[in-house]
Amino acid sequence: MVVVMAPDATPEDVAAVVAKVESVGGEAFVSAGVRRTIIGLVGDIESFHHLNLRTLRGVADVHRISDPYKLVSRQHQADRSTVWVGPAEQQVPIGPGTFTLIAGPCAVESAQQTLEAARMAQAAGATLLRGGAFKPRTSPYAFQGLGVRGLEILADVRVATGLPVVTEVVDVRDVGVVAEHADMLQVGARNMGNVGLLQAVGDAGLPVLLKRGMTATVEEWLMAAEYIAQRGNLEVVLCERGIRTFETATRNTLDISAVAVVQASSHLPVIVDPSHAAGRKDLVVPLARAGIAVGADGLIVDVHPSPETALCDGPQALEGTELRELASAVRRIPPLLGRENAREHLRPAVVG
Amino acid sequence: MVVVMAPDATPEDVAAVVAKVESVGGEAFVSAGVRRTIIGLVGDIESFHHLNLRTLRGVADVHRISDPYKLVSRQHQADRSTVWVGPAEQQVPIGPGTFTLIAGPCAVESAQQTLEAARMAQAAGATLLRGGAFKPRTSPYAFQGLGVRGLEILADVRVATGLPVVTEVVDVRDVGVVAEHADMLQVGARNMGNVGLLQAVGDAGLPVLLKRGMTATVEEWLMAAEYIAQRGNLEVVLCERGIRTFETATRNTLDISAVAVVQASSHLPVIVDPSHAAGRKDLVVPLARAGIAVGADGLIVDVHPSPETALCDGPQALEGTELRELASAVRRIPPLLGRENAREHLRPAVVG
Amino acid sequence: MVVVMAPDATPEDVAAVVAKVESVGGEAFVSAGVRRTIIGLVGDIESFHHLNLRTLRGVADVHRISDPYKLVSRQHQADRSTVWVGPAEQQVPIGPGTFTLIAGPCAVESAQQTLEAARMAQAAGATLLRGGAFKPRTSPYAFQGLGVRGLEILADVRVATGLPVVTEVVDVRDVGVVAEHADMLQVGARNMGNVGLLQAVGDAGLPVLLKRGMTATVEEWLMAAEYIAQRGNLEVVLCERGIRTFETATRNTLDISAVAVVQASSHLPVIVDPSHAAGRKDLVVPLARAGIAVGADGLIVDVHPSPETALCDGPQALEGTELRELASAVRRIPPLLGRENAREHLRPAVVG
Amino acid sequence: MVVVMAPDATPEDVAAVVAKVESVGGEAFVSAGVRRTIIGLVGDIESFHHLNLRTLRGVADVHRISDPYKLVSRQHQADRSTVWVGPAEQQVPIGPGTFTLIAGPCAVESAQQTLEAARMAQAAGATLLRGGAFKPRTSPYAFQGLGVRGLEILADVRVATGLPVVTEVVDVRDVGVVAEHADMLQVGARNMGNVGLLQAVGDAGLPVLLKRGMTATVEEWLMAAEYIAQRGNLEVVLCERGIRTFETATRNTLDISAVAVVQASSHLPVIVDPSHAAGRKDLVVPLARAGIAVGADGLIVDVHPSPETALCDGPQALEGTELRELASAVRRIPPLLGRENAREHLRPAVVG
């Protein structure tokens, strides 16, 4: 940490800061400038936080220098991680070297609709199935999902297609039942700051897909991942899904740079959700291509057999031509970046 | 709702929209313009939503016209509400006609610190005590609050001072124990989108203080209040605490206009939190004055007997001179707007 | 400045930074931490900028510590300034200790409309007249102002009412003609980054009203003021008029905190424009009250004798009841903050 | 346009709106709903604007339905345009079907530096040279460019390399001299709202590169292009360069979706500037790849022979490995989207 003194700070003010820092075992290096004095602190950052240095007389500012997250930081682990999802006999990788397409309906509406969507997803190259049983909605008057019945449908479709399932958990009390039916737990944008839920999915023993909060900085997003990691679960995949800005032509602004920023700061895999960012079907394929090209480790995309009857986010679900264009992009662009389709990398069953 | 057709929409496209609308019992009024056709829909909005009109051929856009919230809307109840907080023998009003100061420490650290802060708050004109026992923090390495022990301290200080208590609940599993100790449940900015928590505090039988999410629009904030109201609990007070913008000089940008916008759209009371918006002590009093002057029904402010040792948000806690300035503003500005201090309006005990 | 080295920086990397700094006459203080090394720089900041330290091997980050603006900084001049506007015989102050209301029509449309608006403004307590002759509009199809004819009308109304005039200049080629007719030159939000215009108004010998760019940080706004000040013109009044955020209920979000932030950082006066921030008449008076209460040195407000026929921003112009409410707020709130109405402080004519 | 009446609007209020609309020759279609009445307007939109319908009694809201821009709209011209840049004997296309790389130094510092940067750019596949002679800087203490001397250097390097030149004009008074030396005029983000400058470049008879304002919506950006087009100049190329958000890890947030949104709304070509969006060299190549993949018609990128001595934006300039990676992406990704490198499409000299 660096403490910047105000221009009118006295030598006594500086001495007081130094004394405080030394009182918790830290070292303080004083650089007296022409107009200002700067004090560099060396020691245990957590203990410095409790000193409330910012409230001391003569202190103008306090800058933190190192990352506030540890377990998920690339400083902690330089090699980027691969997270494996699914049962032992068919694990799907998400990470460097491969490219993973996750697709399926925004919401599970019926067994037939989910199975059809899963078949479409699979045909387009998906190796993981997405589908919402519990839907967090802005309006209490909107469709809230089929709940446990939806989980059962997902589990059935997994058996029928062989696709491992990722689905969202929106309430800490549902973590157990969701974990029984799914292969990966999704924490949605709305719940990125829900500490109890983060800790519970951290304890659940399954990989986690952590979406970025609609207005979270990259640093806060990584701090949310740190909450999960603290419970001993480092199987976390991050998902960029658009941030809130003043632009109204799109539902959210896909922050494509965040993919590269995360990869520079954290060892965790990161994927892109072009469907929820855009909210408009005609933008999904271009944004998906951008997500692949920026270097994401995968995509998560809404597909639906008949978008015009979808109970949730129909306007952004792919089918027909657009879905074929997506499949083409997923097949052709990753190899240019040295990535193979995850389908080629399913982990063989561990022989007993 | 209004459906706007694309310039190249055919008469068949228009007819298809009309047929869809009529299929669910709605009426469709067609206005054929020089370049575009507009269709006004009359009937049950919820049934229109399921039609996914946006996915039909020739449809360029769909505008919603009426408010998406109902129970908390001023269209539903024209007179602004007053919410009463506290036990029957000493209820404190928050609403039009009065002005209510809520103050206390950001976090409960000890019995003595909390009692001292409460006495300071009371001396400054506060009629309600705030204090955090469960703290939602961005970092898992930051102080997370005393938990149940903190609730017990708050309950003791309530007895000692006569101040009803508002405190935050961050996990749906804690609603019961918090409700046993507090007079009003706070849902923090981070949890505004946590539907399970909103429903649980809606069921808890106590008034709720609902902070605006860091990047929620006013409409989404009112939708969150609607989730609480749907459980039969209309005792909701809204709290503006700053939104996230590109400006870095303040922690958040206090959206003072939101107070006036809420009062025009909803009958619920609305207060301002200048401490968390600013994050800097020197801005708290000016922002508090602005909050009073814009017409808020109250303020919630951090005070601490010794900010330099605070375990949470010390840099923004008031004491000494600033606290006296706050007290002066709370005493002098509300009367200019036709409001009396809530202290004069404590509801007399109901005689048995 | 502080240079933060990467965790894997070598002693040679550190030595290279130190050598660079010393090569331009600076001093470098090295604080070697457990994980990172920090280097505090002392000397001429401008020369350090040219070193491009950020591109050196092993450098993780470079923090600037002192303000990048000088002439307008409160470090340069601790006492807050008063800017006097108008001819020698009737100068109006804008600054600490007084409160100044500027009012008039958004756009000058005719002699009669401008005179009527000026009379309304004066009756409400205004001591300066605003009015646009050159209008910067988003659309080339919108009314662009009367140009020089509008300036002449403003000059006539000044004679008739005694109110000095502030009007916007949108093109560097018009600075001369505007300066001939007006008492204060306004640079609008759209032109805050127009360096040529800033320099030209700096040279024009009249006080300047500098609006904050729609998405400028406070620091960038003060840098724009610095461009004017560099030309020897320190008669600059800053005007907060709302920033762009995700909220759509208001045209812009009035950043009321910016007033207090500016007053802590700069000696220049700062006023608030509630009309353009809100874009809705019903919000103007509450926001005006908030602006007064936060401690602004004045307000600038749109008034119009018949808003329903206004050629520009009719929906936000005050008249009738709202204007009387504004007048009441301007009369009653400033005294609580130790300010007198500017009307009482007109500078007496200098006796010859 | 659609007028939405308030729930408590009377039949007289509705009749008053209808009468106003008819008074300017428009037609009004009334749809009376259960709670609200909606009025669809057909006729001349400009005349409706002057009615100030929003100020009438009982009017809750007014929605515009059609695009506010005309000449640049895809409704006006369905086929996407190609803009040709350079002298008759070597014109470079920017538009659908091709992919154009523009590269060069952020600022022209010397003849040698500019020539070296141009050679690097050319080797990487660039067909146009960028370089700043007039630099708009936030700080008056930063390097402001070489001015006319810089223009002369650019013109010399054009002769030496055969690369047509695009350079920024920041002051309306410089349009003439810049047009004498350059092949394409750039209007920077800071000046997107500078109407006088937009009109002057519209009159100058050269193609224009129009950067998006740092906080402009796509609609406002297209309105700025409309100002240029109104002067009879439709040779406008749009450039997305990042918008301002709350994220601080990048200088701006590259709004990659804007490329697809623009292509759906306007016939003008659109390119991406990854250098200024990121402000960090390590992000430039990933963002460049994303820009190509989303479907942009070109890229504009900073290169510099020795970034560590650059007078402007050194930290983002490419050289060495990163430049080779950029060249590879420009060669390999566009063909997957059906685009050929612009180099293959230089327009042959018109035979006399």
Q: Is the pLDDT of residue C352 over 60?
A: no
Q: Which of C217, C171, C165 is nearest to C191 (CA)?
A: C171
For chain C, the farthest-separated pair of C-alpha atoms sits apart, in whole angstroms, at 76
Provide the b/e sequence for B75-100 (b: ≥16 CB within 10 Å): beeeebbbbbbbeeebbbbbbbebbb
Reading the block at residue A312, the tokens are: 């949730």
Find the CB nearest D286 among A245, A260, A289: A260
| Angstrom distances, CA of residue B310 to CA of A51, B145, B302, B305, C152 | 9, 12, 11, 9, 61
| Angstrom distances, CA of residue C171 to CA of C201, D198, D232 | 10, 11, 21
DSSP C338: T
A228-257 per-position pLDDT tens digit: 999 999 999 999 999 999 998 898 999 999
C293-338 per-position pLDDT tens digit: 999 999 999 998 887 777 777 777 888 888 999 999 999 999 999 9
User: B33: distance to nearest CA of chain D, Å?
Assistant: 5
- D215: nearest CA in chain B? B246
Q: How confident is the model at residue C215 (pLDDT cuts 50, 70, 90)?
A: confident
DSSP D220: H
Q: Is the pLDDT of residue A172 over 80?
A: yes
Find the CB nearest A293 among D247, D253, D292: D292
Task: Say if CB A250 and CB D257 are below 8 A apart.
Answer: yes
Terminal C-alpha separation, chain D: 52
Q: Comparing B315 with C257, which gets the higher pLDDT?
A: C257
Instruction: Say what the pLDDT of residue C336 is.
Output: 92
Q: Is the pLDDT of residue C157 over 50?
A: yes
User: D116: distance to nearest CA of chain B, Å?
Assistant: 37
Q: How confident is the model at residue A34 (pLDDT cuts 50, 70, 90)?
A: low
DSSP D212: P
Reading the block at residue D225, the tokens are: 């292009």
Q: Which of C40, C1, C48, C65 is nearest to D142 (CA)?
A: C48
DSSP D253: B
Q: Is the pLDDT of residue C283 over 80?
A: yes
Q: Do C2 and A2 touch (CB under 8 A)?
A: yes
Cα D60 vs. chain centroid, distance in angstroms? 35
Instruction: Find the length of chain C.
Output: 352
Instruction: Say what the pLDDT of residue B326 is.
Output: 94
Q: Which of B238, B245, B256, B281 to mutate to test binding with chain C, by most C CBs within 10 Å of its CB?
A: B256
Any residues with CB less than 8 A from the CB of B210 and at least 6 apart, and which? B186, B187, B192, B221, B224, B225, B228, B236, B237, B238, B239
Find the CB nearest C46 among D141, D230, D307: D141
Ramachandran angles phi, psi of B2, nearest 5°: -125, 130
- The residues that bridge with A70 in the sheet, in sequence order, are none
Task: Say if CB B274 and CB C294 are below 8 A apart.
Answer: no
Q: Is B304 left (phi over 0), alpha (psi -120 to 50) or beta?
A: beta
Q: How confident is the model at residue A130 (pLDDT cuts 50, 70, 90)?
A: very high
Reading the block at residue C202, the tokens are: 């700096």
Instruction: Say what the pLDDT of residue A351 is.
Output: 36
Task: Say if CB A80 and CB A269 are below 8 A apart.
Answer: yes
Terminal C-alpha separation, chain C: 52
**What's the mean pLDDT in C267-273?**
97
| Side chain identity, residue C223 | M
Chain B positions contacting chain A at CB under 8 Å are: 46, 49-50, 52, 54-56, 68-69, 136-142, 170-173, 190-191, 193-196, 214-215, 220, 223, 226-227, 230, 244, 281, 307-311, 314-315
Residue B288: in which H helix or E strand, if any? helix B281-294
Instruction: Say what the pLDDT of residue C99 is.
Output: 96
For chain A, the farthest-separated pair of C-alpha atoms sits apart, in whole angstroms, at 76
Instruction: Say what the pLDDT of residue B349 is.
Output: 45
| Domains of chain D, each with CATH number or no CATH | 2-63 (3.30.70.1140), 83-345 (3.20.20.70)
Q: Which of B1, D29, B17 is nearest to B9 (CA)?
A: B17
Q: Which of D51, D56, D52 is nearest to D15 (CA)?
A: D56
User: A34: distance to nearest CA of chain C, Å?
Assistant: 7
Q: Which chains touch C (3 or more CB pairs under 8 A)?
A: A, B, D
Q: Do C293 and B333 touch (CB under 8 A)?
A: yes
Find the CB nearest D260 among A286, A292, A295: A286
Highest mean pLDDT among A52-61, B64-73, D159-168, D307-316: D159-168
The ipTM value here is 0.88
Give the pairing type, strands B298-302 and B236-240.
unpaired
Q: Which chains touch D (3 or more CB pairs under 8 A)?
A: A, B, C
Q: Which of C144, C29, C165 is nearest to C86 (CA)?
A: C165
Q: How confident is the model at residue B1 (pLDDT cuts 50, 70, 90)?
A: confident
Task: Say if CB B306 and CB B318 are below 8 A apart.
Answer: no
- Cα(A187)–Cα(A171) distance, integer angstroms: 10
Give the pairing type, strands B98-104 and B298-302.
parallel
Instruction: Find the length of chain B.
Output: 352
- D220: nearest CA in chain A? A247
pLDDT averaged over every residue in chain B: 89
Any residues with CB less than 8 A from the CB of A117 and at least 6 apart, and which? A103, A104, A105, A131, A303, A304, A305
Q: Which of C226, C235, C227, C291 is nearest to C258 (CA)?
A: C291
D10-60 per-position pLDDT tens digit: 889 999 988 888 888 888 878 776 667 878 787 777 777 777 888 888 888
Q: Is the pLDDT of residue D143 over 50?
A: yes
D207-249 per-position pLDDT tens digit: 999 999 998 999 999 999 999 999 999 999 999 999 999 998 8
**C67 contacts in B (CB within 8 Å)?**
none
Any residues with CB less than 8 A from the CB of A144 and at least 6 apart, and which? A134, A135, A137
Cα C262 vs. chain centroid, distance in angstroms? 10
Reading the block at residue C38, the tokens are: 């920090």
Instruction: Say what the pLDDT of residue B34 is.
Output: 62
Lowest mean pLDDT among A336-340, B96-100, B204-208, D318-322: D318-322
Any residues with CB less than 8 A from the CB of B335 and at least 6 apart, and which? none
Spatial strand order of the sheet with D59-63 comes to D27-32, D37-42, D2-5, D59-63
Instruction: Say what the pLDDT of residue A309 is.
Output: 75
Instruction: Say what the pLDDT of residue B56 is.
Output: 85
**C213 contacts in B (CB within 8 Å)?**
none
Reading the block at residue B343, the tokens are: 């202290």
**C249 contacts in B (CB within 8 Å)?**
217-219, 257-258, 261
What is chain A's percent helix, strand, coil content, to nearest 5? 40, 20, 40
| Angstrom distances, CA of residue D91 to CA of D218, D331, D342, D349 | 29, 20, 10, 8
D329-352 per-position pLDDT tens digit: 999 999 999 998 777 766 654 433
Task: Say if CB B309 and CB B107 are below 8 A apart.
Answer: no
Find the CB nearest D36 among B29, B65, B245: B65
Any residues with CB less than 8 A from the CB of B229 and at least 6 apart, and which? B71, B72, B202, B236
User: A51: distance to nearest CA of chain B, Å?
Assistant: 7
| Side chain identity, residue B281 | K
B129-172 per-position pLDDT tens digit: 999 999 877 777 777 789 999 999 999 999 999 999 999 999 99
Report the 10 Å Cβ neighbour count for A309.
14
Alpha helices in B99-181 (DSSP H): 111-123, 148-161, 175-181
Helices (H) and strands (E) in chain A, counts: 11, 15
Task: Say if CB D310 and CB D105 are below 8 A apart.
Answer: yes
Instruction: Say what the pLDDT of residue B105 is.
Output: 92
Q: Do A171 and B54 touch (CB under 8 A)?
A: no
- Cα(A301)–Cα(A131) distance, integer angstroms: 10
Ramachandran angles phi, psi of C4, nearest 5°: -105, 120
Chain C positions contacting chain D at CB under 8 Å are: 46, 49-50, 52, 54-56, 68-69, 136-142, 170-173, 190-191, 193-196, 214-215, 220, 223, 226-227, 230, 244, 281, 307-311, 314-315
Give the pairing type, strands A59-63 and B37-42.
unpaired
Provide the b/e sequence for B36-56 (b: ≥16 CB within 10 Å): bbbbbbbbebeebbebbbbbb
D72-96 per-position pLDDT tens digit: 999 878 899 999 999 988 899 999 9
Reading the block at residue D116, the tokens are: 């070296």
Instruction: Say what the pLDDT of residue A20 is.
Output: 87
Instruction: Say what the pLDDT of residue C349 is.
Output: 45
- Cα(A169)–Cα(C310) distance, integer angstroms: 53
pLDDT averaged over every residue in chain A: 89
Task: Say if CB C173 and CB C155 are below 8 A apart.
Answer: no
Coil, helix or strand for B32?
strand
**What's the mean pLDDT in A159-186?**
95
**What's the mean pLDDT in B44-65?**
78
**What's the mean pLDDT in C63-68?**
72
Instruction: Say what the pLDDT of residue C347 is.
Output: 63
Task: Say if CB D52 and CB C310 are below 8 A apart.
Answer: yes
Task: Say if CB A346 and CB A164 are below 8 A apart.
Answer: no
